[in-house]
Amino acid sequence: MRRTSRGVVAGTPTAHVRFMSTPASIRAFHARLRLEHVEINEALERLTGAFETGDQEVARSAFRDFDKRLMAHLKMEDELLLPEFAGVDPAEAELIAADHRTIRAKIDELAIGSDLHLTRLTAIRQLAEVLRAHAQREDEVLYRWVDRSFGDQQLSPPPDEPSRPSAPSR
């Protein structure tokens, strides 16, 4: 086990999990990731449904919601998980990062098309296929690594970030 200057094991998400201000279960973090996949899929279904109706304003609104959810999720994975996963499996981490870049480029293209009323239902359905395959890959590789590596271990905030005081018990 190689430890970083902070004393955390290299190849684990511990060093990068800065958004957590109190100890949190890795399983809870993993459950959050999977829940985000479900929520993104639901937003994608709403987006597809909006494009099926042909109502451009509803479609544009659904696209904005979907885009916001997906971009936040990709950013979180890129910043929190992939740097640590790269210490364990650099080739797979790069494949996932490359998928993220491809997905972002496609979303940018569809966003412009949506604003100009040029995006078609077939493009949304193609995006859905790409995203579902990507989510499955992450479930099988990245999220499985989180489970195998940590189980029910607890994450604490990095040493340079003080914990928030807990609320007094009543």
pLDDT in tens, 56-114: 899 999 999 999 999 999 999 999 889 989 999 999 999 999 999 999 999 999 988 88
Domains, the chain, ranges and CATH? 24-150 (1.20.120.520)
Classified as helix, coil or strand, 168 is: coil
Higher-pLDDT residue of 86, 21: 86
| Closest by Cα among 30, 54, 59 to 138 | 30
Residue 130 host element (H or E): helix 121-140
Listed in sequence order, the residues at least 6 apart from 137 whose beta carbon sits closer than 8 Å to its beta carbon are: 95, 96, 99
Residue 155 binned pLDDT confidence (cut-offs 50, 70, 90): very low
Listed in sequence order, the residues at least 6 apart from 50 whose beta carbon sits closer than 8 Å to its beta carbon are: 58, 59, 61, 62, 63
Q: Which pLDDT score, from 0 to 100, does residue 27 have?
A: 66
Q: Rounded distance, CA 44 to CA 22, Å?
A: 32
Average pLDDT of span 1-9:
36
Higher-pLDDT residue of 155, 153: 153
Q: Which pLDDT score, from 0 to 100, does residue 32 have?
A: 85
Average pLDDT of span 22-40:
76
* pTM of the model as a whole: 0.71
